[in-house]
Every structure is written in structure tokens, then in C-alpha cells.
């Protein structure tokens, strides 16, 4: 469903991605790992359409559509959704309001009508309780005063409500204690289905104990230098990244 071919991306004049190629099929969970500064977050940001990233070469297609030609909101409406490492605060805007606006924008793009209020409330309450969150959370302003764990749960909650075709999660495990990580992982696992792809970006293997990926890719210096299955992640955990870096340089 997602095809990234020979992607080159420049940020403020320096090349971060240097020919990245990646293919994700429905039903697959991919994990991108790599040392700091390898360009992991850049990949998901470019796919989502964040400003300030210049694609100098290569292509990204999603279900046959040229992603780079699409507006940010069109990408989300097409089913590409990014969970942020550092979600921003939006003072005065209630969580529930953002969720409803986002859901309705996506429904509208699909030619469906607005979701009826009772149906929406039912859906939301179910997902909130699944994420072990309190209902009062919906009435708070988006991410305002949220703890790190609450912010991450909120990102997953949005995924559960919006049901993307491809969920991209950028360092969703950073700053989480073990209990919060379990809840987040459970949320992500519940998203697994044969028609959905999941792309995890993570620095640590720890998360992958809870969300077992089908494919693991090691990103070093803007390129995927090694791919494998979940065993590769475990190997990285015990041996670190240096050996892969050396192997790729050789």
C-alpha cells in the first residue's frame, strides 16, 4: 500500500535521507530502528507532509496515489495518519472537539455524512475506556497540561477513533513508564488487522517486546542498511547499532 522509492530529503540544506526505499503491505507491521540522527523521524514527517522538508529525489505512493502531490489533510483523509513524538498543545480546544472535527473531515472526504452525535459518543467512550483513560479527559484542551504518558495515549486514542489505513507512530514509546507503555502497546496491537499497515519508528527495542513487528529495518545515515524480522530487533538490543553501521560501511 505504501511504496517509498529512493527517497532523498534535505532539511535546511543538509541531506537527511539519502535514497530510502521501503514497501509496506496491508496487514504488516514495520519497525524502523536506528541510532539518533539517522533520519527516522524525518521519514514519517515527510510522509505526513510536514513543512521544511525538501524532497530532492525519489517517490512516495500510497495505494497508487502520489503522496507528495497531496495536501497534508488529503493524506490523512486518504488514511495516512501520524502519531506524534511530541504532540502540541492547543489551548481552549477540547479534545473531544478535535476528535469530532477530524473524524467528520475524514468522513466527508469519503463521501459519508457527519457522524450522528449518539454514535460518536458511544464510539469515543468505548475507545477512551480501552485506553484506560478517564472521560473527563475528553473535556480538557488538546494536550494542554497532559503528562507525557497522557499525550501518547491521546495519540493512540485518535488512531482508534480515526481508523487509518496506515498508522505511523513516531517514537511512541519515548518518555513512557512500563505501565503506560503496555497500555499504548495494547492500543497499537488492537489496530493490527489484515487491511491495515503499521509503521513504528523507535530507538529502543523495548517497545517491540509488546508490539512484535513483521519487519524490522535499520536506518543508518539516511538509508536502510539492514532488514529482517523481529529477531533483528532483539539482536540490536543485545549488540547495539555499531555492528550494523560497520557492516554497512564495509
Q: Could you tell me the smallest distance in angstroms from the CB atom of residue 229 to another protein?
A: 30
Out of 9, 162, 198, 199, the residue judged to bind another protein by CB under 8 A: 162
* Total interface residues for another protein by CB under 8 A: 30
- Residue 158 binding another protein, by CB under 8 A: yes
CA angle 178, 124, 186 (to 5 degrees): 25
Question: Taking CB under 8 A as the rule, does residue 90 contact another protein?
Answer: yes
Break the chain down into helix, strand, coil percent, rounded to 5.
40, 30, 30
Nearest to 85 by CA among 24, 127, 26, 43: 43
The three-class DSSP label of residue 197 is strand
3-state class (DSSP) for residue 219: strand
Member of 19, 26, 27, 87 binding another protein (CB under 8 A): 87
Contact map string, positions 104 to 133, toward another protein, x by CB under 8 A: -xx--x------------------------
CA distance 175 to 149: 7
Query: CA dist 204 to 32, 172, 190, 232, Å?
Result: 10, 11, 21, 12
- What x/- string results for residues 190 through 229 when contact with another protein is judged by CB under 8 A? ----------------------------------------
Stretch of residues binding another protein (CB under 8 A), selected from 1-9, 42-50, 213-221, 226-234 = 42-50
Which lies closer to another protein via its Cβ, residue 44 or residue 205?
44
Least separation, in Å, of the C-beta of 171 and another protein? 16
Which DSSP category does 171 fall into?
Answer: S
Residue from 59, 63, 65, 97 that binds another protein (CB under 8 A)? 97
Q: CA-to-CA distance for 131 and 146, rounded, in angstroms?
A: 15
- The 3-state DSSP class for residue 123 equals helix
Considering only residues 43 to 72 of the shown chain, the ones binding another protein according to CB under 8 A are: 48-51, 71-72
Q: Give CA separation, 148 vs 27, 73, 139, 174, 220, in Å.
A: 29, 26, 18, 9, 27
Residues 201, 172: Cα–Cα separation, whole Å: 8
Q: Which of 75, 151, 203, 223 binds another protein (CB under 8 A)?
A: 75
Q: Does 11 bind another protein (CB under 8 A)?
A: no
The residues of the shown chain that bind another protein, judged by CB under 8 A, are 48-51, 71-73, 75-77, 81-82, 84, 87-88, 90-93, 97-98, 101-102, 105-106, 109, 141-142, 158, 162
Amino acid at each position: 500500500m505504501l511504496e517509498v522509492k529512493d527517497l532523498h530529503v534535505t532539511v535546511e540544506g543538509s541531506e537527511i535521507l539519502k535514497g530510502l526505499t521501503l514497501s509496506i503491505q496491508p496487514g504488516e507491521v514495520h519497525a524502523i530502528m536506528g541510532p539518533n540522527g539517522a533520519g527516522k523521524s524525518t521519514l514519517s514527517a515527510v510522509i505526513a507532509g510536514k513543512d521544511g522538508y525538501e524532497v530532492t529525489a525519489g517517490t512516495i505512493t500510497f495505494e497508487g496515489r502520489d503522496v507528495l502531490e497531496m495536501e497534508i489533510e488529503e493524506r490523512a483523509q486518504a488514511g495516512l495518519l501520524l502519531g506524534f513524538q511530541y504532540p502540541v498543545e492547543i489551548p481552549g480546544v477540547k479534545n473531544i472537539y478535535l476528535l469530532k472535527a477530524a473524524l467528520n473531515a475524514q468522513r466527508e472526504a469519503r463521501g459519508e455524512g457527519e457522524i450522528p452525535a449518539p454514535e460518536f459518543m458511544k464510539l469515543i467512550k468505548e475507545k477512551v475506556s480501552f485506553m484506560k483513560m478517564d472521560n473527563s479527559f475528553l473535556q480538557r484542551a488538546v494536550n494542554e497540561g497532559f503528562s507525557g504518558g497522557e499525550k501518547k495515549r491521546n495519540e493512540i486514542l485518535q488512531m482508534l477513533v480515526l481508523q487509518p489505513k496506515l498508522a505511523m507512530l513516531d517514537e511512541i514509546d519515548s518518555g513512557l513508564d512500563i505501565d503506560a507503555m503496555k497500555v499504548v502497546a495494547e492500543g497499537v496491537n488492537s489496530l493490527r488487522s489484515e487491511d491495515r499497515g503499521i509503521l513504528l519508528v523507535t530507538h529502543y527495542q523495548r517497545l517491540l517486546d509488546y508490539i512484535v513487528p513483521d519487519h524490522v529495518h535499520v536506518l543508518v545515515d539516511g538509508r536502510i542498511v539492514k532488514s529482517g524480522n523481529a529477531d533483528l530487533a532483539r539482536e540490536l538490543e543485545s549488540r547495539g547499532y555499531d555492528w550494523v553501521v560497520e557492516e554497512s560501511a564495509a
